[in-house]
Structure 1
Amino acid sequence: MSRRTRRPVSSSAAASKAGLSCPCGLPRAYDDCCGRYHSGAAAPTAEALMRSRYCAFVKGDVGYLVRTWHPRTRPEGLELDPGTRWTGLEVLAVDGGTAFHTNGTVEFRASYRGGALHEVSRFERVDGAWVYVDGEHR
């Protein structure tokens, strides 16, 4: 059975205005939120992995992005555009991706100066850990 939710989730821009420091938009400090995944803890859900990957883009953590990419779809190399300034994350829908699933999707909108990326990302478990497979831009 899969779970599909459509709910507004606070954006990272709103969280920043409230004085919270995790770029993913959840009301936690970075070290207690996505920072722990960047330091080696496994993300427990596909949504948590997607949020932590967004934070990795914000912080320019290419190593984390590569480590959390599915081996069959991982690019040979990854270069981030240093001019991109990410300004907010909005999770639009989640389907599956919990401890009871082997795959899941997360639909999100990631805003940056001058535009936004709207994507439905696919995730799978590999050796018990969630990894990003690919995404469909909307």
Structure 2
Amino acid sequence: MAKHGSRLRQSLPADSPCPCGRSRTYALCCGRLHSGESKAATAEDLMRSRYSAFVVGDEEYLSRSWHPDTRPRDVGVDADTVWRGLEILGSTEGTPFHDEGTVEFRARYREGGRDGEIHENSRFLRHGGAWVYLDALGGR
């Protein structure tokens, strides 16, 4: 989901629905993770918060939640990409009782007048006591 471009950080009103698709407000869902108030309890929570970070253009959170061994220098958020929805397709492990897990997802977007999607099976690890994105096992 890393697309290079301009760095635009949008703010969402606290009572906005969370972009991750859960039936909570942004402030009570992914906004708490973005601000550093809370940490993701599961790999899926981190996946959802990273999707929401792409929606709002929070490059700092994307960088912070990426494993240092695989994190690019520039995470890159493209202001011209409009994220249109996240669907979690499945997961393995990744609970509060695990140290690793995977989350398969589909994220829809619109860019340059064209619709697209990313389908990925992402791998997550605990690093320094927090869930972080490691890499993709496969995607389209």
Return the TM-score normalized by structure 1.
0.84
Answer with 72-81 or 35-44: which moved more: 72-81
Question: How far does the alpha carbon of each residue in 1:27-82 deviate from its partner, in whole angstroms, 9 at most, with x for none?
Answer: 00000000000011110000000000000000000000000000100111122111
* Structure 2: segments with no counterpart, 5+ residues: 1-14
Aligned pair 1:129/2:125, yes or no?
Answer: no
Secondary structure of the 1:51 match is helix
Instruction: Name the counterpart of 1:30.
Output: 26
Question: How far does the alpha carbon of each residue in 1:74-124 deviate from its partner, in whole angstroms, 9 at most, with x for none?
Answer: 111122111100000000001010111110000000001211100000000
List structure 1 segments (4+ residues) > 2 angstroms apart after TM superposition. Answer: none
Equivalent of residue 91 in structure 1, options 78, 88, 92? 88
Which one has a larger percent helix, Structure 1 or Structure 2? 1
* C-alpha distance in 2 between matches for 1:83 and 1:29: 24
Amino acid at match of 1:137: G
* C-alpha distance in 1 between matches for 2:124 and 2:75: 19
Question: Contact 1:20/1:27 (CA < 8 Å) preserved in 2?
Answer: no
- The percentage of counterpart residues that share the same residue type is 59
Matches within 5 A, 1:52-71: 52-71=49-68
* C-alpha distance in 1 between matches for 2:130 and 2:22: 21
Return the TM-score normalized by structure 2.
0.83
RMSD: 1.2
Secondary structure of the 1:78 match is coil
* C-alpha distance in 1 between matches for 2:128 and 2:80: 35
* C-alpha distance in 1 between matches for 2:94 and 2:33: 16
Equivalent of residue 78 in structure 1, options 60, 75, 93? 75
